[in-house]
């Protein structure tokens, strides 16, 4: 029954690109004339056809249940995308940025604020990061947090001192 399960899986449309896996790999759909209803000349052939359809339906149902279970567990941990627009100030998470500090404990948790220059493809933003940092400027929104200005009146926070990231300050 494994070949039938494989056929059913490869002939079902994927959620991401709405194509069957067979079409994505080979550029055409497999020949499925054996699935068409015909007058059966042999009663064994009718029973076999009915059995194959049942197996395919069961496989398709099981795959759909698996897909729903995976979606459920992913959605439990997934966070909604923050409402960030071009020009907003953003704080950058420092977990993937190396500094010259002797240990990770001494580094700051968030760098910034940086201005958002552009929205890229799904969930990616381009930030206005100084060139002397020598790092990429496009980050996933999972590494970004909106910058919160203090609510206290007459309180101004001076910008933080520049951080030396993988090189000397120029």
What is the per-residue pLDDT for 10?
Answer: 80
66 and 8 share one domain: yes
Whether residue 13 is found in the same domain as residue 72 = yes
pLDDT of residue 92: 92
What's the token pair of residue 157? 């926070």
Alpha-carbon distance 49 to 138, whole Å?
A: 54
- Cis status, amide bond into 157, omega within 30 of 0: no
* Per-residue pLDDT reduced to its tens digit, 98-127: 888 888 888 888 988 899 999 987 789 999
158 and 85 within one domain: yes
Does 63 lie in the same domain as 42? yes
Residues 63 and 112 in one domain: no
Do both 97 and 147 map to the same domain? yes
- What pTM did the predictor assign? 0.49
Question: What domain range is 42 assigned to?
Answer: 2-77
Q: Are residues 169 and 89 in the same domain?
A: yes
Of the residues 77, 99, 116, the one at which a domain ends: 77
**How does residue 38 score in pLDDT terms, banded at 50, 70 and 90?**
low
pLDDT at 161: 67
Q: Does residue 38 share a domain with residue 14?
A: yes
Range of 48-62, 67-81, 100-114 with top mean pLDDT: 48-62
CATH number, domain of 133, equals 2.30.30
Q: Number of folded domains in the chain?
A: 2
- Position 35 scores a pLDDT of 57
pLDDT of residue 125: 92
- On whether both 71 and 92 belong to a single domain, the answer is no
Indicate whether 102 and 70 sit together in one domain. Answer: no
CB within 8 Å of 134: residues ≥ 6 apart: 165, 166, 167
Residue where one domain finishes, among candidates 31, 49, 77: 77
pLDDT at 159: 64
| Average pLDDT of the chain to the nearest whole number | 82
Q: Are residues 127 and 165 in the same domain?
A: yes
Structure-model confidence comparison of residues 45 and 35, the more confident one:
45
């Amino acid at each position: 029954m494994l070949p039938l399960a494989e056929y059913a899986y490869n002939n079902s449309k994927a959620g991401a690109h709405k194509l069957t896996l067979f079409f994505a790999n080979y550029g055409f759909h497999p020949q499925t004339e054996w699935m068409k209803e015909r007058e059966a000349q042999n009663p064994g052939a009718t029973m076999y056809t009915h059995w194959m359809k049942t197996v395919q339906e069961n496989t398709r149902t099981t795959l759909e249940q698996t897909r729903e279970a995976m979606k459920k567990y992913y959605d439990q941990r997934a966070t909604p995308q923050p409402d960030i627009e071009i020009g907003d100030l953003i704080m950058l998470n420092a977990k993937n940025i190396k500094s010259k500090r002797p240990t990770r404990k001494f580094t700051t948790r968030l760098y910034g604020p940086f201005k958002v220059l552009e929205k890229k493809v799904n969930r990616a933003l381009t930030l206005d990061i100084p060139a002397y940092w020598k790092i990429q400027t496009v980050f996933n929104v999972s590494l970004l947090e909106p910058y919160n200005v203090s609510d206290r009146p007459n309180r101004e926070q001076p910008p933080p001192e520049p951080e030396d990231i993988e090189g000397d300050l120029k």
